Amino acid sequence: RNYSISVIPGDGIGKEVMPEGVRVLERAASLYGFSIEQTWQDFACCDYYARHGQMMPDDWKERIGQPDAIFFGAVGWPDTVPDHVSLWGSLLQFRREYDQYVNLRPVRLMPGVPCPLVGREPGDIDFWVVRENTEGEYSSVGGKMFPGTPREVVIQETVMTRHGTDRVLRYAFDLAATRDRKHVTSATKSNGIAITMPWWDERVEEMAKNYPTVTHDKYHIDILTAQFVLNPDRFDVVVASNLFGDILSDLGPACTGTIGVAPSGNINPDRTAPSLFEPVHGSAPDIAGKGIANPVGQIWSAAMMLEHLGEADAAAAIMRAVETVLAEPGLRTGDLKGKANTEQCGKAIADALA
């Protein structure tokens, strides 16, 4: 088995954690009998913008070609390029052009990561947030009237399609069906948003009929955020529209400790285009260049990518190695009160993969 991977380190600590992600990938490949063919790209970063006045070349799709997946670091350098320019010019292009309609994030409490929720142990919190990633509240339908006057009116519509909603719900139910608890929680707000959200609830009920072994429930988004903090052990797979999912997929990892360990997948489940795997964190300009960033988010993203590619054993082995290293204070990075730098932590995980 050979997989072609497009490697895009991006900006700031993206460039520092990416080599550790690749180190662990290569080690997993050699142990589990597959190979990784890497193509490193120098675009989708603010250095590229400084040289060319745009984040990516016009022919970026041709340059990327048809890889099996994209392995991404982090993008953004607000001192030189405004964040909306760097993000829209890179990551959001991939999500849209490659129809990566699922944003998937694990919420799992790992050993060695201090939990901000009192009294929770590893094992107590272990669920997935499935966010709709292409439509919903983040539409460009709307407009302004009488701008700059006291009569100013702004309108932005939510756009939900049956195709777009059903496909993300199907993904969530499929995922739940593979898990022990087999439970889907839907984020709604049908008491307040009286057209789209009751319809979302109907689509959930319709989809659930296809999955007799999977149970489901729903919470309004306001109380759901409270439940994430108060009773995170209730959840198994949480599915949400674009806006609600955006909020939940930051809140979830925050409930399990440092941002430095959380991974994510921007997934095209139909495999009509590559999926993209990246840590949740950004380029962290405040610590960039020091070699102290936590590489676990990038390494866990590598595990998610291997799972997507069908290398489940290698992915599970990486997660065991991550847990082993996180449990060892001397091998953790400073954000987890450890003494290791980025490279030492990455090497320790690669070694633990033995």
Segment 64 to 83, residues that bind ligand NAI, using CB under 6 A: 74-76, 78, 83
CA-angle at 61, arms to 299 and 104, nearest 5°: 35
Window 250-289: contact mask with Mg ion (x via CB under 5 A): x---------------------------------------
Strands of 57-166, DSSP E: 69-74, 102-108, 126-132, 142-145, 153-156
What share of residues in the chain are helix, strand, coil (percent, to 5)?
Answer: 40, 20, 35
Round to whole Å and give the CA distance between 205 and 302: 34
For the CB of residue 264, give the shortest distance to ligand NAI in the complex, in Å.
8
Could you say whether residue 97 binds ligand NAI (CB under 6 A)?
no
Could you say whether residue 331 binds ligand NAI (CB under 6 A)?
no
For the CB of residue 354, give the shortest distance to ligand NAI in the complex, in Å.
25
Question: Residue 93: enclosing H or E segment and its boundaries?
Answer: helix 91-97
- Of the candidates 154, 156, 141, 158, the one whose C-alpha atom is nearest the C-alpha of residue 243 is 158
For the CB of residue 8, give the shortest distance to ligand NAI in the complex, in Å.
10
For the CB of residue 311, give the shortest distance to ligand NAI in the complex, in Å.
24
Residue type, 312: A
HSE at residue 109, side-chain half, CA atoms within 13 A, is 19
**Taking CB within 5 to 8 Å according to partner kind, which of ligand NAI, Mg ion, none is near residue 164?**
none
Sole binder of ligand NAI in the list 103, 134, 165, 294 (CB under 6 A): 294
Could you say whether residue 116 binds ligand NAI (CB under 6 A)?
no
For the CB of residue 6, give the shortest distance to Mg ion in the complex, in Å.
23
CA-based torsion, 201, 205, 206, 211: positive or negative: positive
Residue 72 to residues 21, 42, 159, 265: CA-CA distances in angstroms? 10, 11, 28, 10
For the CB of residue 104, give the shortest distance to ligand NAI in the complex, in Å.
14
Of 126 and 246, nearer to Mg ion (C-beta) is 246
Could you say whether residue 113 binds ligand NAI (CB under 6 A)?
no
Contact assessment for residue 34 and residue 97, using Cβ atoms and an 8 Å cutoff: no
**Taking CB within 5 to 8 Å according to partner kind, which of Mg ion, ligand NAI, none is near residue 307?**
none
Could you say whether residue 281 binds ligand NAI (CB under 6 A)?
yes
Of 186 and 333, nearer to ligand NAI (C-beta) is 333
Could you say whether residue 105 binds ligand NAI (CB under 6 A)?
no
- Of the candidates 67, 73, 267, 30, the one whose C-alpha atom is nearest the C-alpha of residue 167 is 267
Of 290 and 320, nearer to ligand NAI (C-beta) is 290
CA-angle at 239, arms to 235 and 240, nearest 5°: 125
Contact assessment for residue 245 and residue 129, using Cβ atoms and an 8 Å cutoff: yes
For the CB of residue 295, give the shortest distance to ligand NAI in the complex, in Å.
7
Of 246 and 311, nearer to Mg ion (C-beta) is 246
Residue 247 to residues 278, 295, 338: CA-CA distances in angstroms? 18, 24, 29
Of 29 and 349, nearer to ligand NAI (C-beta) is 349
| Residues of this chain that bind ligand NAI (CB under 6 A) | 13, 74-76, 78, 83, 87, 91, 259-260, 278, 281-287, 293-294, 297, 335
| Residues of this chain that bind Mg ion (CB under 5 A) | 246, 250
